[in-house]
């Protein structure tokens, strides 16, 4: 018999406060400033491998400022959407709403119209880097604490286990953080001290 987990907790909405910044603190700060209208820069482009947090930051910015023009996975845009993003970037340069865009590669390596690739590079461009396992573990612990749970690690070599089982899985690390593997952690609803 296999135990099936129940989704009894609502999904956590992407916000700036629950983004694991790690080496991406500067990118987070600039995106926050763009969303708050507190920067002269009107165009920010984020790029990086899947699971690095691009979409999380775009959703958080859209929640903070619905007037922003948001474009995710720009490398998959069709001709009409490329034209729309091109126009939005030009309008942002003229004082219109800010543009926050993201893709898997830096602007120069995108398979887009030449004029759109150069426009994306007009603003701030940040590569989102992988977050250290220690930061991910702290985030996992904070998610458990927010639900009134305490977790303890069974193995003294927790870093290698976490890296193997949770964070080097080829998937986005954040969904894995929200569902810890029962072979690594014991969740204690009685709040037993570590």
Domain with 110 in it: what CATH number?
3.40.50.300
For residues 91 and 38, membership in a common domain is answered with yes
Q: What is the mean pLDDT of residues 52-60?
A: 96
Per-residue pLDDT at 116: 97
Residue 194 counted as domain residue: no
Instruction: Return d(Cα 57, Cα 49) in angstroms, integer.
Output: 14
Q: What is the mean pLDDT of residues 2-19?
A: 82
For residues 67 and 96, membership in a common domain is answered with yes
pLDDT band at 192 (very low <50, low <70, confident <90, very high): very low
For residues 28 and 55, membership in a common domain is answered with yes
Tell me which residue range forms the domain holding 67: 16-127
Residue 79 counted as domain residue: yes
Residue 29 has pLDDT above 50, yes or no: yes
For residues 100 and 171, membership in a common domain is answered with no
Residue 158 has pLDDT above 60, yes or no: no
Among 5-14, 75-84, 115-124, 131-140, the range scoring the smallest mean pLDDT is 5-14
For residues 104 and 178, membership in a common domain is answered with no
Among 12-21, 38-47, 154-163, 183-192, the range scoring the smallest mean pLDDT is 183-192
Per-residue pLDDT at 12: 82
For residues 110 and 182, membership in a common domain is answered with no
Residue 164 counted as domain residue: yes
Residue 168 counted as domain residue: yes
Residue 147 counted as domain residue: yes
For residues 122 and 143, membership in a common domain is answered with no
pLDDT band at 7 (very low <50, low <70, confident <90, very high): low
Q: What is the mean pLDDT of residues 138-154?
A: 76
For residues 34 and 112, membership in a common domain is answered with yes
Number of structural domains the chain divides into: 2
Residue 184 has pLDDT above 60, yes or no: no
Residue predicted with more confidence, 69 or 172: 69
Of 78, 111, 127, the domain-final residue? 127
The pLDDT tens digits for 74-89 are: 999 999 999 999 999 9
For residues 122 and 95, membership in a common domain is answered with yes
Average pLDDT, the chain: 81
Q: What is the mean pLDDT of residues 48-64?
A: 95
């Amino acid at each position: 018999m296999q135990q099936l987990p129940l989704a009894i907790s609502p999904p956590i909405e992407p916000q700036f406060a629950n983004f694991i910044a790690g080496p991406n603190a500067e990118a987070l700060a600039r995106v926050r400033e763009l969303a708050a209208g507190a920067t002269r820069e009107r165009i920010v482009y984020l790029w990086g491998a899947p699971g690095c947090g691009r979409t999380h930051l775009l959703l958080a910015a859209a929640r903070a400022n619905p007037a922003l023009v948001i474009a995710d996975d720009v490398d998959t845009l069709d001709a009409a959407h490329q034209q729309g993003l091109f126009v939005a970037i030009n309008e942002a340069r003229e004082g219109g709403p800010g543009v926050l865009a993201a893709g898997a590669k830096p602007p120069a390596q995108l398979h887009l119209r030449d004029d759109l690739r150069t426009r994306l590079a007009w603003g701030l461009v940040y590569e989102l880097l992988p977050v250290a396992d220690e930061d991910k573990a702290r985030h996992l612990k904070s998610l458990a604490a927010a639900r009134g749970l305490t977790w303890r690690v069974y193995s003294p070599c927790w870093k290698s286990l976490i890296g193997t089982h949770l964070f080097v899985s080829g998937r986005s690390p954040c969904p894995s953080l929200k569902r810890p593997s029962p072979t690594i952690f014991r969740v204690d609803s009685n709040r037993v001290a570590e």
